[in-house]
């Protein structure tokens, strides 16, 4: 349901119907409040409507749910930019770039914010000595942290507040230039080495000088040649991170070997490689692959065990819900292979709760159908069906029609291919005046035996009781065709005669004009008299009435002639 609402919300967003998109994403969040993407999408809608407060609230929620997702921070940066908080916006974009250094949206957003900061500084009309741009460097904090001289400054809240003021208003450099730490920061950002004299006193003046430090020309921010040095070295990769990276690479190699053997159906080898991959690096993809290999090897219990481990570990790691769903789905498939359809259905449903896919949905539908079929087939018992039929007959004789229906229903469940159960239940339903249900049961009986005469005759009787006289005649004709041995001819003819007499009586005393008016309202009669073959037969009958009897030897023609006679078009004198 949440995926459907999200898709509709995306479509509304693409059509620029932002209010509708917000409504749809809100409904989806109510269904799945832990889905970070939904908050991200709704944040984009609010931003499009210039509701930056709403956009910021959703973007913040997105980053809380998924702190390692760069896009959430780009949403936050855009919202903060819209609210005018340029420094906070820049920090959000920098966080996005830490997570994804190649993120185009974060790069573009940071550039726009830096330009806005520069424009604000220029609008103040105060010179920034040409150094404003260096404080807008996206890697500003990284450069300071990687330099041993400036790294300690990051732990001083008051000094960091001072740097933030300069970043917000570059012209503030003038008032802060006397602080030697600021000059040290400028040197690091410019890539030059500044040897600072010893300072003393609260005023920060240098011994042996006035405390001024030579600055580069404000018209050219490049440092003087004598101070130029190579850029600071890149920070050394953390040993722990390097070990993790190496382990991941080794694990991926084992996974590749496992997949290669899996494709060749060397499942034992595949299991060994996938197991090593998991030992080297904890990624539940390896466990899912391991479970797949065990499944193909016929170790269904082992498959279930690995999938359960993948789900447990995945929850702790906050793994992608699609991987969790895959593990649940594979457990369902393993249980289905073991013949436990109840468990299979349970785990297919749990998989769909995590992530809805056509594949698992198809497996669920197949398992549900298989369970119904299995339960129905397991219930079949001819001996118990006979007992139920005898019980139904006893109830019918005692005029207990409800009890008869119940007993015949049990007979049908015990012997679903026996037409007697349906026909007998139809008889009881007729007594209860449940005519449509009785017709259905007669049809079910005839599906199982086209020559089951009791069902044919009973069907004609039901239509007669329903005053569906044309259908009654049809049922009588079908009964005649089925009665190849002629054992029920008298009974069928009696029902036909009864039906015809009733039809005649309903139009007794009718004038020809009234007859024509009634006929025109009966589409079946109109269809018969419009048939060129029937028109030819009727023309012959005018000059030779005996010809009509000859044509009635055909069951189909006899049926139509009977209906015309009952309708009053053919009058027998």
Write b or e for each residue in 535-552: b if 16 or more Cβ atoms lie within 10 A of its Cβ, otherwise e. Answer: eebbeebeeeeeebeebe
pTM of the model: 0.41
- DSSP E strand stretches across 222-273: none
Per-residue pLDDT at 400 exceeds 70: yes
Question: Above pLDDT 90, what percent of the chain?
Answer: 45
The rounded Cα 115 to chain-centroid distance in angstroms is: 43
pLDDT of residue 231: 41
Determine contact, residues 80/89, Cβ cutoff 8 Å.
Answer: yes
pLDDT of residue 130: 55
Question: Above pLDDT 70, what percent of the chain?
Answer: 82
pLDDT of residue 235: 40
pLDDT of residue 124: 52
pLDDT of residue 174: 64
Give the tens place of pLDDT for each residue, 487-527. 899 999 899 888 888 877 776 666 667 767 777 777 877 88
Per-residue pLDDT at 212 exceeds 80: no
Q: Rounded to an integer, what distance in angstroms lies between the CA atom of residue 255 and that of residue 253?
A: 5
Better-scored residue on pLDDT, 164 or 418: 418
Max avg pLDDT among 232-246, 395-409, 502-516: 395-409
List all residues 6 or more positions away from 162 whose beta carbon is below 8 Å from its beta carbon: 176, 179, 182
Delineate the domains of the chain, giving CATH numbers in brackets. 2-195 (1.25.40.10), 247-378 (1.25.40.10), 511-573 (1.10.260.100)
Look-up: residue for tokens 């209010």? 19
Determine contact, residues 341/374, Cβ cutoff 8 Å.
Answer: yes
Determine contact, residues 173/129, Cβ cutoff 8 Å.
Answer: yes
Look-up: residue for tokens 């602080």? 179
pLDDT-derived band of residue 36, with 50, 70 and 90 as boundaries? very high
């Amino acid at each position: 349901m949440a995926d459907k609402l999200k898709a509709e919300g995306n479509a509304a967003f693409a059509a620029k119907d932002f209010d509708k998109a917000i409504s749809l994403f809100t409904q989806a969040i109510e269904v799945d409040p832990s889905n970070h993407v939904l908050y991200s999408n709704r944040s984009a809608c609010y931003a499009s409507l210039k509701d930056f407060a709403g956009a910021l609230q959703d973007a913040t929620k997105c980053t809380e749910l998924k702190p390692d997702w760069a896009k959430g921070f780009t949403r936050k940066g855009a919202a903060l930019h819209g609210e005018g908080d340029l420094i906070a916006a820049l920090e959000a974009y920098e966080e996005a770039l830490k997570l994804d250094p190649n993120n185009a949206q974060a790069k573009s957003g940071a550039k726009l914010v830096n330009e806005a900061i520069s424009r604000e500084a220029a609008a103040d009309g105060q010179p920034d000595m040409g150094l404003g741009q260096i404080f807008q460097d996206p890697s500003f904090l990284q450069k300071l942290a990687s330099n041993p001289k400036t790294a300690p400054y990051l732990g001083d809240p008051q000094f960091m507040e001072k740097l933030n003021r300069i970043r917000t208003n570059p012209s503030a450099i003038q008032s802060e230039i006397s602080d030697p730490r600021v000059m040290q920061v400028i040197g690091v950002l410019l890539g030059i080495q500044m040897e600072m004299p010893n300072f003393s006193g609260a005023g920060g003046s240098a011994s042996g000088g006035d405390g001024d430090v030579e600055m580069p020309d404000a018209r050219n921010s490049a440092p003087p040649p004598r101070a130029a040095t190579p850029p600071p070295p890149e920070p050394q990769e953390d040993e722990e991170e390097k070990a993790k990276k190496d382990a991941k690479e080794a694990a991926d190699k084992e996974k590749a070997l496992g997949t290669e053997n899996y494709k060749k159906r060397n499942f034992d080898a595949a299991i060994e490689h996938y197991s090593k991959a998991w030992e080297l690096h904890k990624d539940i993809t390896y466990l899912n692959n391991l479970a797949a290999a065990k499944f193909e090897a016929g170790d269904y219990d082992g498959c279930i065990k690995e999938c359960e481990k993948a789900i447990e570990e995945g929850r702790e790691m906050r793994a992608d819900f699609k991987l969790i769903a895959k593990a649940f789905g594979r457990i369902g498939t393993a249980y289905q292979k073991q013949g436990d359809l109840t468990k299979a259905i349970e785990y297919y449903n749990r998989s769909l709760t995590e992530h809805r896919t056509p594949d698992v949905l198809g497996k669920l539908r197949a398992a549900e159908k298989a369970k119904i079929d299995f339960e129905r087939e397991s219930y079949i018992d001819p001996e118990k069906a006979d007992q139920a039929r005898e019980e139904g007959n006893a109830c019918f004789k005692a005029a207990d029609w409800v009890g008869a229906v119940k007993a015949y229903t049990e007979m049908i469940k015990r012997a679903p291919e026996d037409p007697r159960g349906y026909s007998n239940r139809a008889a009881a339903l007729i007594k209860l005046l449940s005519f449509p249900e009785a017709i259905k049961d007669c049809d079910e009986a005839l599906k199982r035996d086209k020559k089951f005469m009791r069902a044919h005759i009973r069907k004609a009787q039901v239509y007669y009781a329903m005053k569906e006289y044309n259908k009654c005649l049809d049922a009588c004709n079908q009964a005649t065709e089925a009665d190849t041995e002629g054992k029920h001819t008298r009974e069928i003819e009696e029902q036909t005669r009864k039906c015809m007499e009733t039809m005649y009586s309903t139009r007794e005393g009718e004038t020809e004009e009234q007859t024509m008016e009634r006929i025109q309202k009966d589409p079946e009669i109109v269809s018969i008299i419009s048939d060129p073959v029937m028109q030819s037969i009727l023309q012959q009958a005018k000059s030779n009435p005996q010809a009509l009897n000859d044509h009635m030897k055909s069951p189909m023609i006899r049926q139509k002639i009977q209906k015309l006679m009952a309708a009053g078009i053919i009058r027998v004198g």
